[in-house]
Amino acid sequence: MTTTAVRPGKRPSYVSGAAPAANAGRIGTSGKTFQIVSVIVLVVFAIIWLIPSLFALKTSLTDNGVAALGAQAILTNWNPTLHSFASFFQAGDIWNWYLASGITSVITALLTVFFASMAAFALSRLRFRGRNVSFLLVILGIMIPTQVLIVPIFQMLNWMSLLNTYWSVIFPQVPAVIAVFIFKQFFDGIPAEMEEAARIDGANRWQVYWSLILPLSRPVLAAVSILTFVGVWNNLLLPLFVLSNPNLMTIPVGLATVQSSFGQRYADIQAGAILAALPLIILYLIFQRQIVEGVTGSGLKG
Amino acid sequence: MTTAQAPAAALIKPRAARTAPIPRSVSPLRRGDGRSGWLFLAPFGVFYLVFLIGPTIYMIVASFFNTSMVHTDLGSFAGFANYAEMLTRPDFWSAMWHTLQFTIYTTPPLVILAFIFAVLTNRVRRGQWFFRLAFFLPFILPSATISLIWVFVFTPATGLWAFMQQSLGMTPGNGILANPNTAMIGIAIATVWWTLGFNFVLYLAGLQDIPRELYEAAAVDGASNWSQIRYITLPLLGRTTTLVILLQIIASLKIFDQVYLMTSGGPGVSTQVALGLVTGTAFTDNRVGAASAASVLLFIVIVAVAVIRQLFDRAAARREA
């Protein structure tokens, strides 16, 4: 046992050799105990954290009749069935919801990333009068709580006759100010020499943005796209009030109706909860790093 | 704090800091930047003005009028009547109180548990991905999924929660969400489970910042794991903790989804929160003016906390510089 155990991460120890033998022994033992206790505590809590999801999954694979009997019946039932998922897909609403959530999330992510990166390019790379004021507005915009603007946004959309269209969900979510901030910070770190070389070779500003800056920024573009997608997919407040046509409902709004209309069909309800989350779980498994780092970055900055 | 960077900065470290700005008169390449600058800003700027600044101004204006959902105009001038009404309405203050209650219930577990999970995960050598998955995954799931799961877990008498209470020899009662005294606790439990992952990854990022040499030096001096956490980790994560608490307060002030989906503000109005009151006043009572006044009040509180956060960030950055 070396002192490696007490240190976070996987770096090999270079201290143990220099450490007094008596000390090293003591640290080693306590380090080992600490590791074991840490793992036990973490595993216990991780299981607690996984139980609700696993219970929902188990319920969704149980017959509605059994699920109605309660938790004990669900946990002791060993006749899994895909009936709830099948009935969800047959009823058809879920396809409309997926379509609405998919379309609004993808288009919002594309527009946000495209427009915000253009704005960030101007703020980071171009020198013009009004640049500092514009940047100040961006910083102020970060503090505006958009949820609180739901009533005036509804009114705006009403005037524009956009209520009950996908655009009513897309447009208000495009000005994600934090995205401009994140892009600008990244662009600021790209050396000016590359841009100047391209300009001397005859590239105009659009070409610098499109063919030089954007390709260099793929990781941050991906991170912001994914986070915007997740944010729009999960948004309840906006679509709840601007979409009243059942055929246009996004997943969260559709699920809100499931809660009230399904009554005691618990297996079906849990199948709906899982179907709503499924695309995001898949997305997380593919883009784990981008999502975790993106969430961290926007949390620290936003 | 050096990890306070844009997400992608962590993915690719740009090679060098930008050089000093080039004086406009010197470089011919800078000529014409002005027009291009505005063209590049325009698309985002239009959305920013129409869907962020426009609604903010409209909200402030409408709060002084008897605006309704039925008519398209502002309606008659009301002066401060909407504000006077809101500030004297008992349900406004009870909504504010429930928001505060929610903050008080959720903040301590969200800070303490996230800290413990992050510190321990950071020290475990194998299987970090598993703990990340367990603690973080719920955070990116829709509030609708979270609410459906927890309403079901809290099903009176037969739900998983009642089942566990029975197993522990307790009497389940008529359900945590059905009782006005405990409904907010139920919402808080679901929220802690849902959003802990956010604070967890913020703490993990903060931990990456603490130089390993500190722990190594402490280990050489014979400091136990516990003393290392107590005297190195805890103080150095102080800034992250303040950030986490302020972000939690802002998030609590904006709470809507879980309440709407799990209790609709009930039983009675026992879990009604600020944003629930705003949307109810506007979309059920059709009173946009009154709802706008409530929105402005909520807006001011949230922006005040956000400003405190900015000031705190600046001060902390200065201290470290």
Q: Which residues contact A117 (CB under 8 A, 6 or more apart)?
A: A179, A183, A209, A213, A214, A217, A221
Separation CA A119–CA A213 (nearest Å): 13
Q: Residues 186-215, chain A: which have Cβ within 8 Å of B? A: 186, 188-193, 196, 199-200, 205, 209
Enumerate the β-bridge partners of residue B65: B77
Q: Residues 18-37, chain B: which have Cβ within 8 Å of A? A: 18-19, 21-22, 24, 29-30, 33-34, 36-37
Compare CB distances from A185 to B5, B288, B295 and report the shortest one's residue.
B5
- Say what the pLDDT of residue A73 is: 86
The token pair at A77 is 């039932």
**Which residue is it, tokens 């959720």?**
B106
Which candidate in B3, B24, B148 is best for mutational testing of the A interface (most A CBs within 10 A)? B148
Longest dimension (CA), chain A: 78
Q: Tell me how close the Cα of B143 comes to any Cα of chain A, in angstroms.
A: 7
* Residues of chain A neighbouring B24 (CB-CB closer than 8 A): 127
Per residue in A284-302, pLDDT tens?
999 988 888 888 887 776 5
Separation CA A300–CA B243 (nearest Å): 8
Q: Tell me how close the Cα of B159 comes to any Cα of chain A, in angstroms.
A: 5
- Say what the pLDDT of residue B126 is: 81
Q: Mark yes or no for CB contact B220/A241 under 8 Å.
A: no
Whether residue A265 is predicted with pLDDT greater than 90 in this model: the reply is: no
Separation CA A253–CA A224 (nearest Å): 24
Separation CA A286–CA A230 (nearest Å): 13
Alpha-carbon separation of residue A159 from A155, A249, B76 (angstroms): 6, 21, 19
Q: Mark yes or no for CB contact B201/A295 under 8 Å.
A: yes
Separation CA A49–CA B81 (nearest Å): 48
Q: Tell me how close the Cα of B76 comes to any Cα of chain A, in angstroms.
A: 17
* Residues of chain A neighbouring B131 (CB-CB closer than 8 A): 42, 46
Q: Which residues contact A290 (CB under 8 A, 6 or more apart)?
A: A219, A222, A223, A226, B7, B11
Q: Is-above-0.80 flag for pTM? A: yes
Compare CB distances from A301 to B4, B72, B219 and report the shortest one's residue.
B4
Q: Mark yes or no for CB contact B205/A300 under 8 Å.
A: yes
Per residue in A23-37, pLDDT tens?
333 445 567 788 888
Once rounded to an integer, what is the mean pLDDT over residues A230-252?
93
The token pair at B193 is 């489970």
Compare CB distances from B254 to A129, A147, A300 and report the shortest one's residue.
A147
**Which residue is it, tokens 């206790």?**
A37
Per residue in A92-145, pLDDT tens?
789 999 999 999 999 999 999 999 999 999 999 888 888 999 999 988 888 899
